[in-house]
Structure 1
Amino acid sequence: MFRLSARRCFLHTRPVGQPHIKLPTAGELQTIRTDLTTKGYATFGQLLRPQEAITLGDKFPAIFRGEFDTGVFPDEWHWREGISKESAPREIVNAWKSDDLVASIVLSKELGSLVRAITGWESVRVAQDDLWWKAPSTANSATKGHIDAEYFNFFADNSLLTLWIALDPVGQDNSPLQYIEGSHQWSVGNDSGEIFKKGSEVSGSILTGDEDVFASCPYKYDGLVRSVSVPRGGCSFHLGNTWHGSPPNKDAKMHRRSLAIHYIPGNNSFDLNVKTGYIYGKYRMSDHDSTLYDCFFPQVG
């Protein structure tokens, strides 16, 4: 029998500060919904105050050194100071469990309510957060084109919305997020089988040395790639089936740090017919329990 650590089980309820969120107006909200429906992604100019984005970005060195506020390790930690190459891209998954400032944003009820308003879901959970750090002039830091739903195919409901927040000003030279407009319409739900197979194990690095980050995309996308430039604290939203990636950070001085939050419907569950991988398999209490527990998938809206 899997036994929950009390310390881990209540991480999602620990007191953390509240970020200052600039919510979209009614008109901006409608534009976000429309763009998601037609293009598969949407941008919003300023979600976090610039100073808050700077403060979180400034914490990245400590976080990636393993200086965790809670003493709890994140689920994934790629890049070690003194071991990994300085030019290597850096990623931490589910830093909300480890760092209070990250948690204040990821667990924000205000953001959860915004996601509910965008999607129309009755309630909202966090599936995962993702810290990305690409240092200046890192030629091998491109992120290959992919769809996020590919990495969450063990849920019963494949609905997914990703919020990507830029912690540095992101322009054309420091690894802007790129989307293939309309690509969310190439596959529908879990049954498509064309992009990914339900229950398959996702493997291989998400990093690529190809200048064309969508080189592995099986569809024609000529003229459909859109690069997103946003200010510090700006953001974009995209659907789970939207193809996206980012070129390397070619800027000689500018870092590219970001926080992504992947949201799912609050009433979602594990698909008991699907084999769950090592990381998320830890959070299934038994082979017969499909429940997503708040300890690991916090309800935020």
Structure 2
Amino acid sequence: MLDQTRIDTFRRDGFVIIRNLLSGAQVEVARNRFEPLFQGRFETGIYPDEWNWQEGRDPPDRTRQICNGWKSDRTIARIVLSACVGELCAQMGGWEGARIGQDNVLWKPPGAKSLGFHQDDSYCHWVVPAGYITCWMPLDATTAAGGTIEYARGSHLWPLSLPKGKFHAPEDYHATLREAAAEAGGTIDIVPIEVAAGDAVIHHGRVWHGSGPNSAAVPRRALVSHCISADCRFHPTEVSYVYSRYRRRGDLDMDESFFPILWRADGYRTPWLASL
């Protein structure tokens, strides 16, 4: 899937579209897992690491998000932990291999508000070497009016920023982008991604991205794999309030029970993934 043209596009723009990554059958079965997940019916009996929207608790006009849904649902796991996703991210990152850092299960229903612009790497301080390569996989055809993901082309070349502004439902979801561009002396070139269900986008951890409100009559659902290098270890002092709980005392190695290796150039893949 990766020829030199796609690699060059990624290096220039900070993102690249990959067509037909998921089959129609994969898309359909993944869509069917969204309602059970967000209703708290977890196939494995294990809660996800983050469950940011719950029915009856949170406003209906918010984007619904679960992080590490792979721990709760085997269908989600088979997609976000695939060898194909790992290989794409490793090759774009220039790594010998890739492991999962975190996944997202995202559901933006009609009427849902925006998500603020941000850099994923602002939240990747807890591993060494730091830095995500992300595979974003829409399960619905996306449109600019439907709250699709938007990228600021070339912004991965700007400095890394600390987290800025409000992430969920900001009044002006471009405000943080404008602030970052002013600090970097950069030019803003926003690209809304309009692709078919089953296509994907690979993006750099430093590229600025966000999404507007869903003004369409259909939902926008997506699965996301945030990959890190296979040789990552926990940072000795920097802590993630969620993910550092998986660090063993006195040991910086990342346990493959929680951060499995999806693909490695020597053919290795975490053995238990074969049972999904």
Q: Distance in 2 between matches of 1:38 and 1:60?
A: 34
Match of 1:82 in 2: 56
TM-score normalised to structure 2 length:
0.88
Map residues 96-245 of structure 1 onto 2, 5 A cutoff.
Answer: 96-138=70-112, 141-187=113-159, 195-196=161-162, 205-211=166-172, 213-217=173-177, 218-220=180-182, 222-245=187-210
* Pairwise CA RMSD: 1.8
Q: Distance in 2 between matches of 1:254 and 1:227?
A: 17
Match of 1:30 in 2: 4
Match of 1:300 in 2: 262
Gap change, CA 1:121 and 1:277, over 3 Å in 2? closer
Q: Partner of 1:278: helix, strand, or coil?
A: coil
Q: Tell me whether 41-50 or 238-247 shows the greater mean CA deviation.
A: 41-50
1:277 aligns with 2:240: yes
Amino acid at match of 2:155: S
Contact 1:41 1:238 in 2 (8 A): yes
- Please give the per-residue CA displacement for 1:166-225, whole angstroms capped at 9, x wherever unaligned: 0110011111111111111112xxxxxx612xxxxx6875213334x2212321455511
Q: Which runs of 5+ in 1 are unaligned?
A: 1-23, 188-193, 197-201
Q: Distance in 2 between matches of 1:113 and 1:225?
A: 27
**Alignment coverage as a number of residue pairs:** 258
- Please give the per-residue CA displacement for 1:200-258, whole angstroms capped at 9, x wherever unaligned: xx6875213334x221232145551111111011111111111111111111x210100
Q: Distance in 1 between matches of 2:138 and 2:5?
A: 20
Match of 1:289 in 2: 251
Q: Which runs of 5+ in 2 are unaligned?
A: 264-276
Q: Distance in 1 between matches of 2:243 and 2:228?
A: 15
Amino acid at match of 1:291: D
Q: Distance in 2 between matches of 1:91 and 1:102?
A: 13
Q: Distance in 1 between matches of 2:150 and 2:90?
A: 25
